[in-house]
């Protein structure tokens, strides 16, 4: 579950780290994350140079 303390990393991580663009890799997606990262949401939009990626462990060992 996304914690409030993680919110800056979903809205403007490039600004947090002082870089031009960013991608957040997270272990799961949530409706809140999908809303924040959806272009044009109008409320707390993620920066336009920001990407979001859901990563999962490889099931094949």
Reported as half-sphere exposure (CB side, CA atoms, 13 A), residue 2 has a value of: 20
Reported as half-sphere exposure (CB side, CA atoms, 13 A), residue 53 has a value of 8
Q: Which residue has the tokens 């809303």?
A: 35
Question: Whole-angstrom Cα distance, residue 61 to residue 52?
Answer: 26
Average pLDDT in the 49-59 region? Answer: 80
Q: What is the model's pLDDT at position 28?
A: 82
Each residue of 4-40: pLDDT tens digit? Answer: 777 777 777 888 889 998 888 888 887 877 777 666 6
Question: Which pLDDT does position 5 carry in this prediction?
Answer: 78
Q: What is the DSSP letter of 39?
A: T
35 versus 56: which is more confidently predicted?
56
Predicted confidence (pLDDT) at residue 45 exceeds the cutoff of 70: no
């Amino acid at each position: 579950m996304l914690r409030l303390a993680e919110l800056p990393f979903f809205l403007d991580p490039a600004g947090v780290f002082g870089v031009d663009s960013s991608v957040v890799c997270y272990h799961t997606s949530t409706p809140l994350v999908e809303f924040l990262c959806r272009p044009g949401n109008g409320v707390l939009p993620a920066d336009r140079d920001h990407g979001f990626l859901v990563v999962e462990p490889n099931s094949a060992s």
